[in-house]
Structure 1
Amino acid sequence: MKLFEKLFRPRPPIRDRKALADFVDAQSAFIVQKGIYEYSRARAGHYAKVLFAEEGFAKSVEHARWQAFPLGLAMVGETVDVVLRPHAGEERRAVLDQIIAVVLSVFDRYPVPPSIGEAAWQEARREMAHRLDLVGGHAPKRVMDIPEPLAESYFAMMPIHEKLRGRDFATTRNYLRVCLCNIHDELVDRIDAPAVTRALLE
C-alpha cells in the first residue's frame, strides 16, 4: 500500500524559486541521462549488461552524462521561459534574467566533474548562460523546437563510437522533442506561474 501511495502521490506544486530550481535540476538530469542510457542499451543489444559492466564504458557514460548536463539545463531553462513569459508582462527581461540565475545556481550545485575539467566545465557554463540570454531576443519557440540547435551536439556526446551510430540522429532528436514536451506538460501542471513570477522578481 505504501508503494502504491508513493507511486500515485501528487507531485508537489512549484511556487517558489527553490522548487523551480529543484525541478530544473531533476528534469535536466533526466532528459540527458535517460537518452544516453537508452541509446547505449539499444545499440549494445544483447550485450548491454556486459558493456555497462566494463569499467571503461562506465567511465564513458559518466563523462557523457556530465558533458550533456548543461545542454539539458539550457533546454529546460528555455522551457521555463516559455511557461512564465505570458505572466511576466513588461518585466519579461527581468524574469528571464532570474530564470538564468536559477539555472546557473543549479549548475553550481555540482563540483567540477573530473572527466570534464575546470576549464571545459566553466566554458560549458558560459555557453549555457549565453544560449539562455539569447532566448530574450525572439518570440517563444514551440517546445518541440527547443532541442533543435542542441540535438546534434547531444548526439555527438553518446558513448558509442561514431561509426556504430548509423542513422540514429533523427531518433535521438525526436526523443529530445517528446521528452521536453512531457517536461513542459508536467511543469504546466505543477507550477503556480503568477506566484513563481512574483518570487523571481522579489
Structure 2
Amino acid sequence: MALFKLPQRKPPVRDAAALADFIDTQAAFLVQKGIFEYARARAGHYAKVMFHEADFKAAVEAARWRAYPLGLAMVVEMVEGELRPHAAGDLAAFHAALTATALAVFDRYPAPAPLAPDAWAAARDDIAHVVARCAMHPVKRVIDVPEPYAQPYFALMPIHKKLRGQDFDTTRNYLRVALCNIHDELAERLDAAAVTAALSRGG
C-alpha cells in the first residue's frame, strides 16, 4: 500500500530551455482553464452532457487554439517585466533573445486543424512583436498585463454571444488573478540572473 506522497517541488527555471517550457505550459494552462471553467459555469447542470457533444468539443478545440497565442503573449509580457531589471546592461540583446524564445515556443505547434495556416501565421507575426511592444513602455503591473487581451479572449468563448450576458468583467478578472498566480510561481522558481545571462549567450 503506497504511502501518501509529499508534493514534489517544481524544478527551478535557470536557463532558456526551462524558461521556454514554463512559458509554453503556463500559456496553455491560462487560456484552457478559463475556457473550460467559463463553459462549465454557463452550462450549469448540462455541462456533463454538453462536454460530450461532438459540436461542442470541436468548438472548444477551436477556441483553445485561437486563444493560445493570446496566452503566450500575456505570459511572455509578464516574463519580460520580471527579467527586464536584470538585463539593464544590454536590453536590445535581451529583448531579441526573449523574442526568439517566444517564437521557438510558438513554433512547437504546426497550424492546428481549426485554424487556417494564414491565421496561424498572422498569430506568429503578432508574437514576434510582443516583446518590442513591451520595450516601448515601463514594466506593467502583472495585474494590468491582460487588459489588451481580455476582450479578444472573451470573444473566443465557445458559448453563443446571446448567452454570455455581462460576463466580460468576470473573464477579465480571471485572467488577472490567474496571471498573478503564474507570476508568483515564476518568482518562486526563477533564477533571474542565470536566465538573463543564458538568454544573452543564446541558451
Could you state the TM-score of these two structures normalised by the residue count of structure 1? 0.96
The corresponding residue for 2:175 is 176
Using the alignment, how far apart are the partners of 1:95 and 1:132 within structure 2?
10
Amino acid in structure 2 at the alignment position of 1:70: P
- Aligned pair 1:29/2:28, yes or no? yes
Using the alignment, how far apart are the partners of 1:93 and 1:159 within structure 2?
40
Once the two structures are superposed, residues 82-138 of structure 1 have per-residue CA deviations (whole angstroms, 9 ceiling, x without a partner) of 111110013122212211111111110011101102100000111122233211111
Q: 5+ unaligned residues in a row in structure 1: which ranges?
A: none
Amino acid in structure 1 at the alignment position of 2:5: F
Once the two structures are superposed, residues 49-83 of structure 1 have per-residue CA deviations (whole angstroms, 9 ceiling, x without a partner) of 11110000000000000000000000000111111
Using the alignment, how far apart are the partners of 1:38 and 1:102 within structure 2?
29
- Aligned pair 1:4/2:22, yes or no? no
Aligned pairs (5 A) from 1:15-54: 15-54=14-53
Once the two structures are superposed, residues 4-57 of structure 1 have per-residue CA deviations (whole angstroms, 9 ceiling, x without a partner) of 23xx11110001111000000000000000000000000000000111100000
Aligned pairs (5 A) from 1:43-192: 43-192=42-191
Q: CA deviation at 1:147?
A: 0.2
Amino acid in structure 2 at the alignment position of 1:126: D
Taking a change above 3 Å as real, the CA distance of residues 2 and 124 of structure 1, as seen in their structure-2 partners, is farther
Whether contact under 8 Å (2:80, 2:131) holds in the other structure is no
Calculate percent identity across the aligned residue pairs: 57
Amino acid in structure 2 at the alignment position of 1:78: E
Once the two structures are superposed, residues 156-193 of structure 1 have per-residue CA deviations (whole angstroms, 9 ceiling, x without a partner) of 00000111000000000000000000111110110100
Using the alignment, how far apart are the partners of 2:135 and 2:57 within structure 1?
38
More helix per residue: 1
Could you state the TM-score of these two structures normalised by the residue count of structure 2? 0.96
Using the alignment, how far apart are the partners of 1:2 and 1:26 within structure 2?
29
Runs of 4+ in structure 1 displaced over 6 angstroms? Answer: none
State the superposition RMSD in angstroms. 1.0
Using the alignment, how far apart are the partners of 1:166 and 1:29 within structure 2?
26
Whether contact under 8 Å (1:93, 1:136) holds in the other structure is no
Taking a change above 3 Å as real, the CA distance of residues 3 and 96 of structure 1, as seen in their structure-2 partners, is farther
Residue-pair matches, total: 200
SS in 1 for 2:70: helix
- Aligned pair 1:194/2:193, yes or no? yes
SS in 2 for 1:141: coil
